[in-house]
Amino acid sequence: MFILVCQKLAEVIFKKSCAITFIISSSFLIPQQCFSDELENMIEKVSALQQWQHLLHYRSHSLLGFMESENDTDSFFISPTGKTDLKAELIAEVALFSLSEQPDNESLQCRFPARYQWLKQFYPNWKDQACSELNEWKSDVDAHKLTLIFPASYLNSPSSMYGHTLIRLDREDESKSKLLSYSVNFAANADPTDNELVFSYKGLAGGYPGVVSILPYYAKVNEYSHLEHRDVWEYQLNLTEQEVDQFVNHIWETKETEFDYFFFDENCSYRLLALLDASSERIDVAKNFSLKAMPINTIRSLIDSDKVDSVEYRASSGVMLNQQQEQLSESQKDWAKKIIEEPDYLNNEAFMQLPEFERAQILEVSISYLRYLVVKKKQNSPANRKKSLALLSARSKIPMQDVFQPIVEPEIRDDEGHLTHRAMVALGQQNNDEFVDLQMRIAYHELMDLPDGFIRGGQIEMGALTLRGVNKNNTSAITEKDELSLQLQRFSIINILSLGSRDHFQQPISWRVNAGFDRFILEGSDLFAHLDVGGGYSYDLGFNGDAEKSGKSASDWGQVYGLLEGRLKASGQFEDNYQLSAGAQMGWLYQGSQWQVNTYGSWLPSVLGEEFDYQDIVIAVGSKLERNLQLRLEGKKQWLSKSGDTVDGDSISLGLNWYF
């Protein structure tokens, strides 16, 4: 009877408020006396449970000694202190969930169905309310399985350098195209007028709110697979139907709310893990990424916790074009480009005399190439649309199907590549001095790292710090502490290099940005700050990088590259405290599964500041010991020329890299 009185009190409060958002304080509106000792104990117990924290997206700030929700929308809570008080929020919701005979779509159950379904196990006498809008939306979504989607990294976009994740809601009828399913995405709600530099800064500093959105999957596939030429990996999760339903309920709760967005931690991948945590008591993985959440590591965490049933691969349009054109002769490639440049070649007598099989291949490559021009180069003109119709019409007149070999799936998935952190120890000699190098790198991958599972010719390094212990003049054993000096040898803030190979159809620009601190390998060189930028071309010798990444055998001879570069250096060791130089770098890169080689030479004459010319030659060889262990040998030679005088330095080192 006492409980019924309290429920009636809550009903009166709810009806008179006319809206839940008018509730001012659960502690005032629902008297504490309305909760018996038994109910009070239940409140204490449930509010302390981990799943209640997950449903409210609470995060522990251990250093500051408190917990609060990461959701920043007031309407996500009932209690005015719900963002910071789990118990107060539970009291408010229990009171309103207890109400009976509420109008359709107006009960709290309709607003927070995931919370209601989970709490009902503790309060089984609650009466389900009518929620026609929610049920209609869920029927349209028709989710029966969840698949985690991973579009691979894309170097030309700051927000996508480490890849991205989203979740596809697979329908019950598996005969229907998966492209028609819905997908759940979390991303920064960025200002469309912001350029990439502003976007990068705000993404790092938390300058954008993050929002959960649900949209057709085909739209995301077009965005990632065509617009950005990114391979897509699909990881089907082994959630039960009840857990999938709870996930969908929770998306309903969060889809019109905001969270903070930070590029490194509270990003797309972290938020999706938090959404999964809220859907199942079997999942508790978001807590492992409180400082940094790289998409590939979040996938590994789900695999390691046995939450992945199967994996499928969707090749990007760029990979498909590459694999198709590799099966053409040089004359066929020329025909494919001619037809795009001048559609009249479709009726050319020489073209029509080619065997049907060859013509079908040429036409399919032309169609793929035109799609590349339309989407990648943003050349969606009426003329190109007319060309597309003509090509499709010509291809339809040739009855042959499957004129190309099936797309080759990579032998090593992205999640099976080396781990993202790296520690290195190396022994070496610089000029006449022995040294020991100790390096720690936060992320992620460089050209000489083990390449399996990564984009060939791609490099993204951040936070690589190298300490060097030097034994001067080699007068005693390096282990004697009294002869050993310690110095910061190098600190790479960010080092990005994209060596995209050019071919008949795709002709990307190679580019690099490298900022940090370094030393010359000359006697007495001080630490200097530097910023390097460059651009140029890269060409494959044999199979191209994307083809090998997609499973080609290693008859690849690597790639050659040339970059025009500028380097700005700042240090007290320079006249006027700076030097600007500009020149070129040329090199050869081989990235095999077992062996890796990078050799290059640079020439950078001065432009401004202290007048000296810089030249170097570097040879690096790596050998795979196991998935996360590599042996590396590196030799360097540097020359600095000023007023006819030249000084030089050299170093050689043997190191062991451990990825973790």
- Interval 24-41: pLDDT, tens: 344 434 545 455 677 888
Based on the fold, state whether residues 115 and 155 are members of the same structural domain.
Answer: no
Instruction: Output DSSP code: residue 454.
Output: S
Based on the fold, state whether residues 282 and 382 are members of the same structural domain.
Answer: no
Coil/strand/helix, residue 348: coil
Domain finish residue from 99, 131, 163:
131
Predicted local confidence at residue 61, as pLDDT: 76
Domain finish residue from 107, 131, 155:
131
Domain finish residue from 76, 108, 131:
131
Query: pLDDT tens across 108-134, in order?
Result: 999 999 999 999 999 999 999 999 999
Based on the fold, state whether residues 308 and 332 are members of the same structural domain.
Answer: no
The answer as to whether 388 is a domain residue is yes
Based on the fold, state whether residues 388 and 499 are members of the same structural domain.
Answer: no
The three-state DSSP-derived secondary structure of 490-531 is: EEEEEEEEECCCECCCCCCCEEEEEEEEECCCCCCCCCEEEE
> Which among 201, 423, 161 has a CA at the least distance from the CA of 296?
161
Based on the fold, state whether residues 599 and 456 are members of the same structural domain.
Answer: yes
∠ Cα 362 367 373 (to 5°): 120
Based on the fold, state whether residues 574 and 511 are members of the same structural domain.
Answer: yes
Based on the fold, state whether residues 429 and 358 are members of the same structural domain.
Answer: no
The answer as to whether 163 is a domain residue is yes
Tokens of 373: 């021009």
The answer as to whether 21 is a domain residue is no
The answer as to whether 30 is a domain residue is no
Number of compact structural domains in the chain? 4
Predicted local confidence at residue 5, as pLDDT: 38
Based on the fold, state whether residues 287 and 393 are members of the same structural domain.
Answer: no
Biggest alpha carbon distance in the chain? 101
Based on the fold, state whether residues 423 and 530 are members of the same structural domain.
Answer: yes
Phi, psi angles (nearest 5°) of residue 473: 60, 5
AA letter at 614: Y
Based on the fold, state whether residues 349 and 431 are members of the same structural domain.
Answer: no
Block means of pLDDT (10 residues each) for the chain, 660 residues, are: 44 40 40 64 94 96 81 97 97 93 94 98 95 98 97 77 93 88 94 81 88 92 70 96 98 96 92 98 95 94 97 90 93 94 90 95 94 73 88 94 93 95 98 96 96 94 96 57 82 95 92 97 92 97 50 64 98 94 98 96 96 96 98 98 91 98
The answer as to whether 519 is a domain residue is yes
Predicted local confidence at residue 381, as pLDDT: 80
The answer as to whether 219 is a domain residue is yes
Domain that holds residue 495: 417-541+557-659
Based on the fold, state whether residues 465 and 610 are members of the same structural domain.
Answer: yes
Chain centroid to Cα 287, Å, comes to: 19
The answer as to whether 83 is a domain residue is yes
∠ Cα 31 32 34 (to 5°): 75
Predicted local confidence at residue 191, as pLDDT: 85
Predicted local confidence at residue 227, as pLDDT: 60
Based on the fold, state whether residues 303 and 343 are members of the same structural domain.
Answer: no
The answer as to whether 292 is a domain residue is yes
AA letter at 647: V
